[in-house]
Amino acid sequence: MKVSRFKRLLILLSIFFVVPFGLYSKYYQGVGSTWVNDYGAAIWYEVFWCLFAFYFFSGKKAIKLIPIYVFIITCLLEILQLWNPPILALIRSHILGKLLLGTTFSWWDFPHYVLGCLLGWLWLELIDKFTHNLSR
């Protein structure tokens, strides 16, 4: 198996881990559920988008840029939650729209976005280092 194909496979496996874990975090009902639902899920949301972008742009430079762009875009989406035109209300009325766009603005999401992007960056680095070591 070529390394680039193996890298993509690792990215996909990571996504298949992160998505269920993130969804579980969003609907978790145990101890600390308020934090896990609101902010823990935001961390996994950032990691998902980092991995998703890395699938398409997996160069060395992308590893540094992807988390920055993910942070900027998700911050803009967070700010967009302050605006409720009919089209966004319609999108947010469906589960996928709620999960992707969010429903309520919170300043506390921003530090968790930073944490998620840092975790995403580390994840991308690990995948890259692991596949790079295999190519030697």
Count of alpha carbons within 13 Å of 93, Cβ hemisphere only? 7
Only one residue has tokens 């295999």, namely 134
- Report how far residue 37's alpha carbon sits from residue 121's, in angstroms, rounded to the nearest whole number: 22
Q: What is the mean pLDDT of residues 127-135?
A: 84
Longest dimension (CA), the chain: 54
Q: CA dist 51 to 55, 88, 120, 128, Å? A: 6, 26, 7, 12
Range from 7-21, 25-39, 92-106 that averages highest in pLDDT = 7-21
At 33-86, the pLDDT tens digits run 999 988 999 999 999 999 999 999 988 899 999 999 999 999 998 998 888 888
pLDDT of amino acid 136 = 61
Contact criterion met (CB below 8 Å) for 10 and 130: yes
pTM: 0.90
Count of alpha carbons within 13 Å of 30, Cβ hemisphere only? 2
Output the CA torsion sign for 80, 84, 88, 94: positive
The average confidence (pLDDT) of the chain is 90
Contact criterion met (CB below 8 Å) for 48 and 11: no
pLDDT of amino acid 133 = 77
